[in-house]
Amino acid sequence: MATAIATDAAAPQFWRDEQLPFIEARSIQDGRKVCYGPHAHETFSIGAVTGGRSTYLNKHARERIGAGVVVLMNPEDVHACNPVDDQPWSYRMLYVDVPWLTRLQHELGFSQNQDFRAFAPIMSADPVLFSGLNRLYATLTDPDAETLHQHSSVIEFFTLAQQTLNPSPRLTKESNLKLERAADFISEHCTQALSLDDICSAADLSASYLIRAFKQRFGMTPHAYLINRRLQFGRAQLKRGHRIADVALEAGFADQAHFQRAFKRFHAATPGQYQG
């Protein structure tokens, strides 16, 4: 169950979910009164400044940063970030467990015997990275987002961060047969609540490879592929005259509203319009 703690704009908002225990999010909309002393985390931390300006300290570095900048803090790096002259300041942060991120680094080509590889940059103005972090935050905090979509999005973003800021060795190509196996598994079980681990186990693929290669092969993420298959199932049921509310549940959607939104997004028509 996801939890979010929110009060006023000047108070921090936290997100966490017991189904994704390796990541936590924090944001603040008005950080003018926020003041941090130098501190460190046991997690890897990455954040985006979404408004205003602040002073960023990371070990011996001191920088003035503004909206569009992504900051990175390796585990146990002493850091602080504070507003400038009472200016408006807002940000979003993600905190990731080191063992989880280390496993992802291994899957991306690092030696299985290598410990966590620290990130050399302490900040980045890469717009792709910035927009990717904001999309991930929106996905994590969306109460309607499925866990499969959230989990996939976490892997997709941190793969991007790894390849952009901390490049790993070239990946070896996996057999297309395994990707076909993943697609077949999704199709055969599309009306069920699938996890990323379910799909990876069925196809004998790592999660990081599946997220990257599946979209290259099929033109959509595993989650989008799952939704598309559910909608194909739903269309067939609608043609048979089944009630929309029943079809929504049979197809694996949480309720009719979720089915309606997905159907319109993919088909530019409502289930009622399609059924006639």
Q: Give the residues of the chain that fall short of pLDDT 50.
A: 5-6, 170-174
Which burial class, exposed, middle or buried, applies to 83 when counting CB atoms under 10 A from its CB (0-12, 13-18, 19+)?
buried
The continuous run of DSSP H or E covering 83 comes out as: strand 79-83
The per-residue pLDDT for 24 is 94
Given the structure tokens 């501190």, which residue do they identify?
A: 39
Maximum CA extent, the chain: 68
Q: Which residues of 243-264 are buried (b: 16+ CB within 10 A; e: fewer)?
A: ebeebbebbbbeebebbbebbe
Q: Where are the alpha helices (DSSP H) in the chain?
A: 98-107, 127-141, 147-165, 176-188, 196-203, 207-218, 222-239, 244-250, 256-267, 271-275
Distance, CA of 68 to CA of 91 (rounded, Å): 10
Q: Which CATH class is domain 2-165?
A: mainly beta
Which residues are CB-neighbours of 240 under 8 A, at least 6 positions away?
none
- What does the angle CA 242 – CA 182 – CA 206 come to, to the nearest 5 degrees? 135
The per-residue pLDDT for 10 is 64
Domain covering 173-276, topology: Arc Repressor Mutant, subunit A (1.10.10)
Distances (CA, A) of 222 to 125, 132, 160, 183: 29, 18, 17, 8
* pLDDT one-digit tens code per residue, 82-121: 777 777 788 999 999 999 999 999 888 775 667 888 898 9
Domain ranges of the chain: 2-165, 173-276
Residue 216 main-chain phi, psi, to 5 deg: -65, -40
The per-residue pLDDT for 212 is 85
Distance, CA of 255 to CA of 246 (rounded, Å): 9
The per-residue pLDDT for 99 is 94
49: left (phi over 0), alpha (psi -120 to 50) or beta: beta
The per-residue pLDDT for 72 is 95
The per-residue pLDDT for 35 is 64
